[in-house]
Amino acid sequence: MEDRETRLKDTTTRLKDTETRLMESETQILEMKKEKKTVVFSAATGGGEQKIGPFDTDKTLIYRTVITNIGAAYGPSTGVFVAPVAGVYYFTIFFHAGGGYGERLQLYKNNELVLLTHDEGYYTNGGHAVFLQLEQGDQVYPWFREPTIIQHSVGF
């Protein structure tokens, strides 16, 4: 009889442990579902004859027109995209410029250069694209070198 009681207690203990692990797993799954977030944005300089630059220092390119900002990850006042969740993100930058300054548009991730597009002509076009593995809180931003003038830029 004592052997049965011991086995029953062991079984009860294992069952309680299994229930606890199951509840913890369900909680983790619910938290992961909450983290899933759609992030899409598109921005432009505003087009037309509204040039940006030249400036006497290098600076972050802040787009005047935010076309889409689902997830609010792009900061329209700073020009910086901040990853709300870890994942792979796709970025493109394109420009049309004039003035013969030698246009240089760069893309940075956390202060590290990840791509560069440039041209040295009078009326120039340039562009580039990249997939980036980002962690939550990583920052991505376009940067242009002085004395660049950007007339149209779409695709950040």
Total structural domains within the chain: 2
59 inside domain: yes
- The mean pLDDT value for 28-43 works out to 74
114 inside domain: yes
For residues 6 and 47, membership in a common domain is answered with no
pLDDT bucket at 14, cuts 50 / 70 / 90: confident
For residues 71 and 45, membership in a common domain is answered with yes
For residues 104 and 47, membership in a common domain is answered with yes
Instruction: Assess whether pLDDT exceeds 70 at residue 48.
Output: no
For residues 25 and 44, membership in a common domain is answered with no
For residues 55 and 118, membership in a common domain is answered with yes
| Contact criterion met (CB below 8 Å) for 149 and 98 | yes
- Strand (E) positions, 1-150? 40-44, 59-60, 65-70, 74-75, 80-82, 87-98, 103-109, 112-119, 123-134, 139-144
For residues 72 and 119, membership in a common domain is answered with yes
What is the pLDDT of the chain when averaged over all its residues? 78
Domain that holds residue 46: 40-144
For residues 16 and 68, membership in a common domain is answered with no
pLDDT > 90: percent of the chain: 21
For residues 12 and 24, membership in a common domain is answered with yes
For residues 107 and 123, membership in a common domain is answered with yes
Phi, psi of 24 (to 5 degrees): -65, -40
For residues 18 and 59, membership in a common domain is answered with no
For residues 26 and 71, membership in a common domain is answered with no
pLDDT in tens, 56-95: 677 788 887 888 999 899 999 998 999 998 999 999 887 7
Average the pLDDT over each of 8-12, 27-31, 133-137 and give the range with the smallest value.
Answer: 27-31
**Domain CATH code at residue 129:** 2.60.120.40
pLDDT in tens, 117-147: 766 666 667 777 899 999 999 999 987 766 5
